[in-house]
Amino acid sequence: AQTVTQSQPEMSVQEAETVTLSCTYDTSESDYYLFWYKQPPSRQMILVIRQEAYKQQNATENRFSVNFQKAAKSFSLKISDSQLGDAAMYFCAYRDGDNAGNMLTFGGGTRLMVKP
């Protein structure tokens, strides 16, 4: 079974600085997707960024980017120019294959605090 591990229960960053959240996963599949979701205090899960395993290029979405190391099975999220609104729980998630109807496996989450 696939597993996703987030080794940092909590992280903090100064406003306007950069922070990196770690995620590792274990799978024997070659075709899969990886995601980062944000869950603010409202508890609404918001898709931040996605990465297809077959793509070597790291995904970026504005201030959010990933460092995808397929051989190391590592998928870290970098948040640049951190803002107060970035404070939230961040979950790394894994999905087999390219069928969006396949289930997600979540990591335990990292709570990000942003200091003004």
Partner 1 sequence: GAVVSQHPSWVICKSGTSVKIECRSLDFQATTMFWYRQFPKQSLMLMATSNEGSKATYEQGVEKDKFLINHASLTLSTLTVTSAHPEDSSFYICSAPDTGAQYFGPGTRLTVL
Interface residues toward partner 1, by CB under 8 A? 33, 35, 37, 42-47, 50, 91, 95, 98-104, 106-109
Task: Report, in Å, the least distance between residue 16 CB and partner 1.
Answer: 27
CA distance 107 to 93: 6
Task: Report, in Å, the least distance between residue 7 CB and partner 1.
Answer: 14
Instruction: Kindly give, in sequence order, each residue whose CB lies less than 8 Å from that of residue 27, ignoring residues fewer than 6 positions away.
Output: 2, 73, 94, 96
* Angle of CA points 85, 88, 91, to nearest 5°: 135
Task: Report, in Å, the least distance between residue 35 CB and partner 1.
Answer: 7
